[in-house]
Amino acid sequence: MSEDTVRSVEIERTSVGQYVVRNTRGGSMSMGAGGDASFTPVELLLAAIGGCTAIDVDHITSRRAEPTRFAVEVTGDKIRDETGGNRMADIRVEFTVRFPEGADGDRAREALPRSLQQSHNRLCTVSRTVELGTPVSIVETGDDD
């Protein structure tokens, strides 16, 4: 790993089942077990999948025309099976995108299907990682105190 390829977040416990997630740029958000309005880890996974594709598609299509509506809904089934344990299945990313009438809007509408495919097949790091499967290492570093 090199400094320009590493991505990271830090998660700090604030109380039982409540955490704050921080990125290296100073952003933060709350995460929890689902007992309040905080995002759960599964919701963040869905948001990451949808958000990654949304960013790709937005950058490609908005060069042609500013959308009048751009919404993404990501759904999936949280299941538990005997062999695989807890996991998400049947993840679906649904885009509702509208562009203004006219030549620029027509060009954006024409670019939309291809941009969705490009993101899904090549550009979106998050969904590519989920679909291809990447090993995750869990490591304990011990107590620093």
pLDDT, tens digit, 9 for 90 and up, residues 24-58: 999 999 999 999 999 999 999 999 999 999 999 99
pLDDT at 88: 94
pLDDT at 145: 62
Domain boundaries, the chain: 7-39, 40-132
32 sits in which H/E element = strand 28-32
One-letter amino acid for residue 129 of the chain: T
Q: How confident is the model at residue 81 (pLDDT cuts 50, 70, 90)?
A: confident
CATH 3.30.300.20: does it fit domain 40-132?
yes
What does the chain come to in residues?
145
Yes or no: say if 20 and 31 are a contact pair by the CB < 8 Å rule.
Answer: yes
Yes or no: say if 29 and 18 are a contact pair by the CB < 8 Å rule.
Answer: no
Give the mean pLDDT of 69-86: 93
DSSP string across 93-119: EEEEEE--SSHHHHHHHHHHHHHHHHI
Cβ neighbours, 10 Å, residue 53:
23
